[in-house]
Amino acid sequence: MTRPIDRRTAGKWLFAGAATAATAGLPRALLAQPAFPSKTLQLVVPYPAGGTTDVVARTLAHGLSARAPAPVIVENRPGGSSSIGTGFVARAAADGHTLLVTTGSTVTLLPHTQGLPFDPLKALAPVAELGRTPLFLYANPRIPAKDLKGLVAWMKANPGKITYGSYGQGTQGHFGGVILGKAAGVDMLHVPFQGGAPALQALVGGHVQLLIDAYQPAMEQVKAGRVLALAVSSPERSPYAPAVPTFRELGLPQVESISGFFGMFAPAATKPETVAALSRLVSGITASDAYRQSLAKLGVLPPQALGPAQMGQSIRQTHAAWAKFVRDIGYRHGDT
């Protein structure tokens, strides 16, 4: 990984690629355009620097820098439940030089829970998946059981005595607890936090008993014995945590729906041939061993090999599923 150019610009890392070496690796559709990218290629992350989405973007930028004849930067534009950075890209020139790197929930779930000022499905064009991210159910070791089956039995006998935290209301972490509770027939009290770090601190400190979140940074606490990992939402066990059973193994396949992904998006008006060329370029990087080894450190699974059209179809299906779920539970923005 390269380091920031300067601490005052922590949200921007510059990766300069060698033009002569890069040209050979570019798809023909891009080479047909004058020296594409003809100016700085900007990857916008709608979350703060240092988080998993940010690291995925910088890992991708490092790969792009070896192929692009122009600089590649990552710029963080956090805030507004991701709407600030997402809106910036949606309004950008549709020339393939300003791209969004974000979580799948930005386009599938948050439109139904966060009151975004625009429709991401209409404002953005899918380019490529960058990685898959299952969520884990973590527990404080002082819970009255050491596995999910035992915990569910205890909760049924002692309703309303377990709290679970999440990285925010109206998120996959929040709704994962709702889905788990319905599937297992138990009641849990949700406690939302402003991000994963304070939620994890609350779990370690015993202020909540359960937490639904991604692999990192909670898995470091698991390895240190301060937290238990009870289940994972992926269809198969994570290769990075093979001892953790899946919800499906435990008879709760409904919870798989909270799994997510990281993706790249362009402004909606970007020409299809530009989107296709970018997708091929990015897919070449995400298929590399170096990129996948970097993902492994984050606990992020390799992306699905989807073209822009397939990715768009998958997003629309997930978007519709979350819309129905939010309606069915009667959730409104601001609920906990």
Phi, psi at 254, each rounded to 5°: -60, -30
SS (H, E, C) 41-105: EEEEECCCCCCHHHHHHHHHHHHHHCCCCCCEEEEECCCHHHHHHHHHHHCCCCCCCEEEEEECH
Return d(Cα 274, Cα 276) in angstroms, integer: 5
What are the start-end ranges of the H helices in the chain?
A: 19-23, 28-31, 52-65, 83-90, 105-108, 110-113, 120-123, 148-157, 172-184, 196-204, 218-223, 272-286, 289-298, 308-329
pLDDT per residue as tens digits for the range 181-232: 999 999 999 999 988 899 999 999 999 999 999 998 899 999 999 999 999 9
What domains does the chain contain, in order, with CATH numbers? 7-133+260-329 (3.40.190.150), 136-258 (3.40.190.10)
pLDDT per residue as tens digits for the range 135-150: 999 999 999 898 999 9
Q: Is 115 left (phi over 0), alpha (psi -120 to 50) or beta?
A: left
> pTM of the predicted model, to two decimals?
0.86
What is the average pLDDT value for the chain, to the nearest integer?
Answer: 89
**Above 60 in pLDDT, residue 19?**
no
**Above 90 in pLDDT, residue 28?**
no
More confident of the two residues 212 and 114: 212
Q: Which pLDDT does position 37 carry in this prediction?
A: 75
Helix, strand or coil for residue 297? helix
Return d(Cα 279, Cα 312) in angstroms, integer: 13
